[in-house]
Amino acid sequence: MKQDLRCGTTALIAILMNNDLIIGNLGDSSAILIGRTGGISLTINHDASNITEMERIQSAGGHIIKVGNVWRVQGMIAVTRSIGDPQYKQYLISNPQIFNYKINSSHSYLLLASDGLWNVIHLYLSLI
């Protein structure tokens, strides 16, 4: 059986040790910490609309093109960091961003989700 090794993936991980929350993010998933006062975003998306990521890709010789409503690296891929995607490796990196937070009794939930959920939530919120 021939394997297709041209695809890639993103990753989001959370580790809680005592009151220390460590988040590792690579791609377009997001972490939200929900507490008594509401929710707070804990991560930064690595997509082609992110100015810092866009500048990094352009300095590597790549280009960002808007296709429909989505900015894409080389006109093809929406994320700027991934695991895999070997045909874009000169522009994409697989280094996650690490975020550290202190958790206290006012925090109730941690929500980790891919862009699939967040896109639906943002669409729903825009309709109400």
Query: Averaged over 20-37, what is the pLDDT?
Result: 93
Residue 45 in domain: yes
Residue 1 in domain: no
Extract long-range pairs of 25-29: CB within 8 Å, 24+ residues apart.
25/96, 25/97, 25/99, 26/81, 26/82, 26/83, 26/94, 26/95, 26/96, 26/97, 27/79, 27/81, 27/82, 28/78, 28/79, 28/114, 28/115, 29/112, 29/113, 29/114, 29/115
| Total count of domains within the chain | 1
Residue 122 in domain: yes
Residue 2 in domain: no
Q: Tell me the pLDDT tens digit for each residue of 41-77.
A: 999 989 899 899 999 999 999 999 999 989 999 999 9
Token code pair at residue 73: 């690296």
Query: What is the CATH number for 56?
Result: 3.60.40.10
Residue 74, pLDDT score: 95
Query: Averaged over 25-36, what is the pLDDT?
Result: 92
- Residue 28's domain comprises 8-127
Q: Tell me the pLDDT tens digit for each residue of 70-120.
A: 999 999 999 999 998 888 999 999 999 999 999 999 999 999 998 878 777
Residue 74 in domain: yes
CB 48 within 8 A of CB 78: yes
Residue 3 in domain: no
Residue 52 in domain: yes
Residue 60 in domain: yes
